[in-house]
């Protein structure tokens, strides 16, 4: 995780046999900033777990509280709470408090759109 292209400046020659230097160069110019790339990966990673994905799908319909989600997913409330934290950190869900109960919902419609697009990909490919 720490071996970045720090030492591979744009004009350096590589010791490895690299076939298309121009393409590598072009790819570098087109690449996302390190930090943004990392954030993007974190976003996909947050969606890349079966239980978190179930949670997102459930919240795509209506808001639910933690114990509902725990029962739906079939794991402990603590486990769901840990998962929800990751989803919150990636701005995938938000909540609203009603007394002692927190109602979770999707943060915006990008989430829904991402899932639907991915499902399309999945269903086309086979």
Partner DNA sequence: TTATCATATGACCATATGCTCATATATAAA
Partner DNA sequence: TTTATATATGAGCATATGGTCATATGATAA
Query: Which residues are at the interface with DNA (CB under 7 A)?
Result: 1, 3, 17, 19, 45, 48-49, 51-52, 65-67, 75-79, 81-86, 95, 97, 99-102
> Tokens standing for 7?
């030492």
- 93 interacts with, out of its own copies, DNA, none, CB within 5 to 8 A per kind: none
- 97 interacts with, out of its own copies, DNA, none, CB within 5 to 8 A per kind: DNA
Q: Which of 67, 81, 85, 96 binds its own copies (CB under 8 A)?
A: 67
Phi, psi of 22 (to 5 degrees): -65, -40
Q: Which of 9, 10, 11, 17 binds its own copies (CB under 8 A)?
A: 17
- Binding to its own copies by residue 98, rule CB under 8 A? no
> Tokens standing for 56?
């997102």
């Amino acid at each position: 995780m720490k071996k970045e292209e720090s030492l591979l400046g744009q004009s350096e020659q590589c010791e490895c046999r690299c076939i298309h230097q121009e393409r590598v160069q072009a790819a570098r110019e087109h690449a996302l900033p390190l930090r943004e790339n990392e954030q993007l990966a974190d976003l996909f990673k947050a969606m890349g777990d079966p239980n978190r994905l179930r949670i997102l799908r459930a919240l795509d319909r209506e808001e639910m509280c933690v114990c509902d989600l725990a029962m739906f997913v079939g794991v402990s409330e603590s486990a769901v709470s840990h998962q929800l934290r990751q989803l919150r950190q990636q701005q995938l869900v938000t909540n609203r408090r009603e007394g002692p109960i927190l109602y979770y919902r999707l943060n915006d419609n990008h989430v829904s759109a991402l899932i639907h697009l991915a499902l399309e990909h999945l269903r086309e490919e086979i």
